[in-house]
Amino acid sequence: DGGITQSPKYLFRKEGQNVTLSCEQNLNHDAMYWYRQDPGQGLRLIYYSQIVNDFQKGDIAEGYSVSREKKESFPLTVTSAQKNPTAFYLCATRDLAGGRYEQFFGPGTRLTVL
């Protein structure tokens, strides 16, 4: 079954704890993105990667970290330095070689900090 998977769907964390959100894709897409969505707001870019072992900061990277060791995987760590981490986190991919420009999204992870 092709697509983008994110796990877990819901995540609860205590203040002061780091947590890692998973994003896996089997679409063979080169680019992967992490966004954050808060109620009533648009998606905001956290980090993105266009190639293995390389990634760039987005508009709100502070308090987050990523890695891209494999083409299929782009995990996001929410660190204790992130001041307001409760949000809906969305992973997206894009096929850079296919001549198309749209992004495809995974089902998202809802993170709640208690």
Residue numbers of the site for another protein (CB under 8 A)? Answer: 31, 33, 35, 40-45, 48, 50, 58, 88, 90, 94, 96, 101-108, 110
| CB-CB contact of 6 with 105 (8 Å) | no
Quote the least distance from Cβ 104 to another protein, whole Å. 7
C-beta of residue 53 within 8 angstroms of C-beta of residue 68: yes
Longest dimension (CA), the chain: 43
DSSP assignment letter at 48: E
Considering beta carbons, is residue 73 or 104 the nearer one to another protein?
A: 104
> Quick one: tokens of 87?
């949000």
Q: Which residue's CB is nearer to another protein, number 33 or number 82?
A: 33
Report in angstroms how near the CB of residue 16 gets to another protein at its nearest.
27
